Structure 1
Amino acid sequence: MKRVIDLNPWEATHPVSQEKAKEKIERAFPHLQPVQVRPCGSGFDHTVYEVNGEFVFRFPRRQLGYEAMQFENRMLRSLVKLRFNGGFEYPRPVFYKESESEDYPYVGFSNIKGRVLTEKTDTDLLHQHAEELGAFLKNLHALPVDQVDADPDHLHRLSSKLRKKHFYEIAKESASVIPEPLYEKLKQYIEQLEEWENPAGTVPLHGDLHPKNMIVRDGRLVGIIDWGDAHIGHPAADLSIGFACMSKAVRAEFFEAYGDIDARTEELARFKAVFIMTVLVRYAANTNDEDVLRWGLAGLEKSLE
């Protein structure tokens, strides 16, 4: 199934207020009453609430969010079924509610306690986890494809041929918040970018591994959330985190823990890192999110060094 591209990338076509979320959850799952709802923030696709301190409920904000929720639910159920343990926590599906009238379905997962990585000021925080993250992805990518409920990469996430023009546009929209020397380096990277088709996909992926989808507790990375872009794809899509959040020296430790990769995979991983960090910078500029901006700019610096 192909995902529909919304005209406004940040618009919530199906907003769910805190009061509405409480009402919906109490009606659907009366055994959770009295329901205590606390906002956990909104991402690109979902509005998220912590419920009774024990669960996290995700409500799709728009069509992309609905589709991502289905992908996420399928992938996480597969990880649970396979008893996957990669060293970091991941949400466990607990509740699922079908749609009511025109509302989207919504889900409830186990709550991974902590804060989103972007809320931390130390943009080198993942350096201490280079080997752990490499091992996590090695184990994830080694799962048997025929036992993971995930689709192929219909979005062609690693196709520079498909995304180069859009890449220019995102960079231009972000120019006002990117320091000029860094912006010139970004433009040069895009201009010199070779155009290639999407590579063949062979492994199960998280698909959207960046600082907004990582949970920190007591100064350490503990969990990986938001699996809505999970798919069967090329390892570089996940390995991009080594470029986006690690310096060149630390990146070597990350790749050593993951295992041998070729130069082409490194090139693809860098491309994904530069692209997604530029997207995060644009998001931060449009939403006045200083935390995401800090990490997005740091990620551009690292991935372009």
Structure 2
Amino acid sequence: MNPWEATHPVSLEKAKDKIERAFPHLKPIRIQACGTGFDHTVYEVNSAYVFRFPRRQLGYEAMQYENRMLGSLVKLNFDGGFQYPKPVFYKEAEGDDYPYVGFTTIKGNVLTEETDTDLLHQHAGELGVFLKQLHALPADQIDADTDHLHRLSSKRRKKHFYDIAQESSAAIPEPLFEKLLHYIEQLEEWENPTGNVPLHGDLHPKNMIVQGGRLTGIIDWGDAHIGHPAVDLSIGYACMTPAVRSVFFENYGEIDERTKELARFKAVFIMTVLVRYAKNTQDEDVLRWGLAGLKKSLR
């Protein structure tokens, strides 16, 4: 079975029917597809809300994490300079279907649809400030779990990392692939580091919204958790060249070399995952950003 295949697909017609029955005050709804992610099918409703329907079990779990984290951010009046979805609607499961949620919409398009893979360079400082403020929120007031997936453990992920790289090899130019293999082979094995800051948890180009050529919002908080800041700081390696990366870190604040090493590891890993996803789904947009991210993160 394709790992990205939906076990619970929700067509536009089915989504429209479910939303109108659950929230009749929205009728007559105007609905259009926004796209399909790893774990969710997404529709925009009445140009004001985005409804997310889990496509598989991991999507259902991610939806719960996301709803809890975003609810916490709203309660704390968090404003880091970029928009994030605000929870508005929640519908419990019906029959074999999963529950689903509705958030305020963030206008624009997904970053991977942009041709300029250096677009985030203009936002290096702003992203550093955004993450500095997010990570400074009081963890005891955030409804989120600790990192049970060991996202930064090279010891747990090294073999899987190598397997993903091999599966992606046909989509990666040979010189870049050799560089990736060398990085994995030379990778030391360490346990997952401890951390106690609130995190987005999955900050990469498919989870960012652009309008008018500028970054406007951060979406898909389904991997939100309490953990090590390097998980989020990986965006500085995945989408920025070394010179721009220094601006990002200057605005975030002082971090040690170990944190930078962990952030690079996360970036190389997630960019390889994106390339595999793009190869399996024949998504040329994601492939473009995944390959650009590998080049940047290995520099």
**TM-score range for the pair, normalised by the shorter chain length:** over 0.9
The separation in 2 between residues aligned to 1:84 and 1:94, in whole angstroms, is 16
The separation in 1 between residues aligned to 2:222 and 2:2, in whole angstroms, is 19
The separation in 2 between residues aligned to 1:84 and 1:95, in whole angstroms, is 20
The separation in 1 between residues aligned to 2:226 and 2:110, in whole angstroms, is 26
The residue that corresponds to 1:108 in the other structure is: 102
The residue that corresponds to 1:78 in the other structure is: 72
Q: Secondary structure at the match of 1:80?
A: helix
Please state if 1:227 is matched with 2:227: no
4+ residue runs over 3 A deviation: none
The separation in 1 between residues aligned to 2:57 and 2:3, in whole angstroms, is 11
Please state if 1:155 is matched with 2:146: no
**Quick one: which amino acid aligns to residue 65 of structure 2?**
F
The separation in 1 between residues aligned to 2:19 and 2:87, in whole angstroms, is 15
The separation in 2 between residues aligned to 1:264 and 1:29, in whole angstroms, is 49
Q: Deviations over 1:233-277 (max 9, x none)?
A: 100000000000000000000000000000000000000000000
The residue that corresponds to 2:120 in the other structure is: 126
The residue that corresponds to 2:17 in the other structure is: 23
**Quick one: which amino acid aligns to residue 190 of structure 1?**
I
The residue that corresponds to 2:192 in the other structure is: 198
**Quick one: which amino acid aligns to residue 112 of structure 1?**
I
Please state if 1:186 is matched with 2:180: yes
The separation in 1 between residues aligned to 2:62 and 2:36, in whole angstroms, is 14
Q: Secondary structure at the match of 1:88?
A: coil
The residue that corresponds to 2:203 in the other structure is: 209
* Fraction of identical pairs, as percent: 80
The separation in 2 between residues aligned to 1:87 and 1:274, in whole angstroms, is 27
The residue that corresponds to 1:139 in the other structure is: 133
The separation in 1 between residues aligned to 2:53 and 2:201, in whole angstroms, is 20
Q: Secondary structure at the match of 1:261?
A: coil
The separation in 1 between residues aligned to 2:196 and 2:190, in whole angstroms, is 18
Where does structure 2 lack aligned partners over 5 or more consecutive residues? Answer: none
The residue that corresponds to 1:3 in the other structure is: none
The separation in 2 between residues aligned to 1:213 and 1:161, in whole angstroms, is 27
The residue that corresponds to 1:256 in the other structure is: 250
The Cα RMSD (Å) is: 0.6
The residue that corresponds to 1:41 in the other structure is: 35
Deviation at 1:127? 0.2
Deviation at 1:9? 2.1
Correspondence for 1:95 among 86, 89, 95:
89
- Number of positions where the alignment pairs a residue of Structure 1 with one of Structure 2: 299
Deviation at 1:8? 4.3
Deviation at 1:37? 1.1
Where does structure 1 lack aligned partners over 5 or more consecutive residues? Answer: 1-6
The residue that corresponds to 1:4 in the other structure is: none
Q: Secondary structure at the match of 1:135?
A: helix
The separation in 2 between residues aligned to 1:55 and 1:39, in whole angstroms, is 12
Please state if 1:265 is matched with 2:259: yes
**Quick one: which amino acid aligns to residue 115 of structure 1?**
N
